[in-house]
Amino acid sequence: MNSWHSSFPFCNWTGITCHDGSVTAISFYNWNITGKIPPVICNLENLNHLDLAYNYVTGEFPTFLYNCSKLIYLDLSQNYFAGLIPGDIHRLSRLTYLNLGFKPSTTSPVTSRRQLDFYQT
């Protein structure tokens, strides 16, 4: 992602949405993506929509996403995350949609969220 600059046609890629040459959305729903989300994703300063649902993403909840300061939509459902939802998830302060795809035993205050989806597995 460090190589994503204006001379490279990433805005034409399937699953990428741009505004004025800047990536605003990544929708890789059911793309069979494996591994972990790279922290450099937050180098996309105008990213406000991230949908990685129905993939094979692993690890704990990626708290580096707190650095994606414009993120309003986050769907990480149906992946292979382990561990608890962090108690400071409210640091995603602009987030209005969050789908993690499972029902946690505890959550932090999420009163500003318009939609918060948890599913019993």
pTM over 0.95: no
Residue showing tokens 């129905």: 54
Query: Of 108, 79, 81, 78, which Cα lies nearest the Cα of 95?
Result: 108
Angstrom CA distances, 105 to 43, 63, 102, stand at 32, 19, 10
Cα angle vertex 28, ends 27, 30, to 5°?
130
Per-residue pLDDT reduced to its tens digit, 64-112: 999 999 999 999 999 998 888 888 988 999 999 999 886 554 455 444 4
Residue 9's pLDDT band (cuts 50, 70, 90):
confident
Tell me what pLDDT residue 91 has. 92
Fill in the amino acid letter for 48.
N
Domains and CATH numbers, the chain: 10-117 (3.80.10.10)
Check pLDDT > 50 for residue 120. Answer: no
Per-residue pLDDT reduced to its tens digit, 15-53: 999 999 899 999 999 999 999 999 999 999 999 999 999
